[in-house]
Amino acid sequence: MSNKIVIGTRGSKLAVTQTETVAAQISEANPDIEVIISRIVTEGDQNWHVQLSNTQGIGIFVKELEEALLQDKIDLAVHSLKDVPTIMPPGLCIGAVSERHDPRDVLISKGQKLAELPAGAKIGTGSMRRAIQVNACRPDLEVSGIRGNIDTRLRKVSDGEFDGVISAAAALKRLGWEDKITEYLSIEHFLPSVGQAALAIECRVDDQRVAKILKQLNHLPTFHSITAERAFLFALGGGCRAPIAALGTVNGKTLYVDGLISNVSGTKIMRDSEQGRVDEAKEIGERLAQKLLDAGAEKFLSEVEDYDTNR
């Protein structure tokens, strides 16, 4: 049996930092195993100048890592869970998820909170979900697309290109940049992306050696939460670009899921919740999706399809 584990990751500072955390956990629990990190360039990294809302493909940050897994070039791949499509390639699965960090979105500005920014201030985000929720709170602000790694985005604020950018709290905290956060945005107004702040550790379905290692790392409350969130997203038929948000939270043996969907323009937002036992996480997510579909969410999804077709 091999005493080596090769972990694949994107090459960004955040991705490597996240992967190093997982590697350290594996090493601590399995001191006899040599852990090697392999950096792999993904389509999303190569096409960094293209706005995410303008990309047709889903999974642009994971595809090359999954190919490396299927070709036995790596044993594991570490992803930001929000980047992982709900439909995975045959032969691969999410073997474990890390304990979720702070799921909130944050504003980084030159000191002004969202409510304090002047009318017309320019806010940067690469997420349709975030743009819609900014507009719902402050329709007088200008929301513009932005790409690049986190330090690039922060530099665009300090250089005055943007008055503020919206990012994930977990990303700033993992990089040790918590002091750069101007404001934590409330879950009430900024429901996060499905899987935000959790890490997915992907592996081959038939790799029993790796499965045994990952069982030690899997955080069950987070796993139940993201199972419901991803079931919600899948049942709505939405991909990573669709304006859909969800957050699951576990309290004892009860799982509560809050979900949101909007039309492309952000003029109509629907939000509801569902709860149940943690062992029925998938069903809870599906029930919540059905609630929104029954209330008319299907027409929002049709708008996304029309938007893709007519671009």
Of 299 and 50, the one with more pLDDT: 299
- Is-contact 119 140, C-beta < 8 A? yes
301 and 231 in one domain?
yes
Q: If you search the block for the tokens 């299927």, which residue do you land on?
A: 70
CATH of the domain at 300: 3.30.160.40
pLDDT at 237: 83
Euclidean distance between CA atoms 64 and 70, whole angstroms: 10
Please tell me whether residues 173 and 122 are part of one structural domain.
Answer: yes
Report whether pLDDT(221) > 50.
yes
Average pLDDT over residues 214-219: 95
Residue range 53-69: mean pLDDT, rounded: 73
> Tens digit of pLDDT for each residue in 286-305?
999 999 999 998 888 777 65
Q: The domain that contains 115 carries what CATH number? A: 3.40.190.10
pLDDT value at position 61?
78
Average pLDDT for the chain: 90
Domain-embedded: residue 190: no
Q: Please indicate, yes or no, whether residues 209 and 229 belong to a single structural domain of this protein.
A: no
Do 145 and 122 fall into the same domain? yes
Q: What is the pLDDT of residues 228-255, one digit of tens each?
A: 999 999 999 865 456 899 999 999 999 9
Identity at 63, one-letter amino acid code: K
The pLDDT of residue 300: 83
177 HSE (CA, 13 A, CB side): 19
Q: In what order do the strands lie in the sheet with 199-204?
A: 34-39, 4-9, 76-80, 199-204, 92-97
Whether 20 and 37 have beta carbons less than 8 Å apart is answered as yes
Q: Are residues 210 and 224 in the same domain?
A: no
Q: Which residue has the tokens 């069950």?
A: 220
> Which structural domain, as residue segments, surrounds residue 247?
220-311
Q: What angle do CA 29, 35, 37 make, to 5 degrees?
A: 135
Distance separating alpha carbons of residues 98 and 219, to the nearest angstrom:
6
* Res. 262 pLDDT band, cuts 50 70 90: very high
Query: What pTM did the predictor assign?
Result: 0.90
The whole-number average pLDDT for the span 76-94 is 94
Closest alpha carbon to 134 in 52, 190, 188: 190
Rounded mean pLDDT, 29-58 = 70
DSSP per residue over 202-236, as a string?
EEETT-HHHHHHHHTT--HHHHHHHHHHHHHHHHH
Q: Specify the pLDDT at position 47.
A: 52
Number of domains making up the chain: 3
Task: Please say whether the beta carbons of 236 and 260 come within 8 A.
Answer: no
Predicted pLDDT of residue 60: 76
CA distance 16 to 39: 8
| pLDDT tens by residue, 136-171 | 999 999 999 987 888 899 999 999 999 999 999 999
Q: Which of 75, 83, 207, 258 is catalytic?
A: 83
User: Is 140 labeled as catalytic in the residue annotation?
Assistant: no
Asked if residue 128 is part of any domain, the answer here is: yes
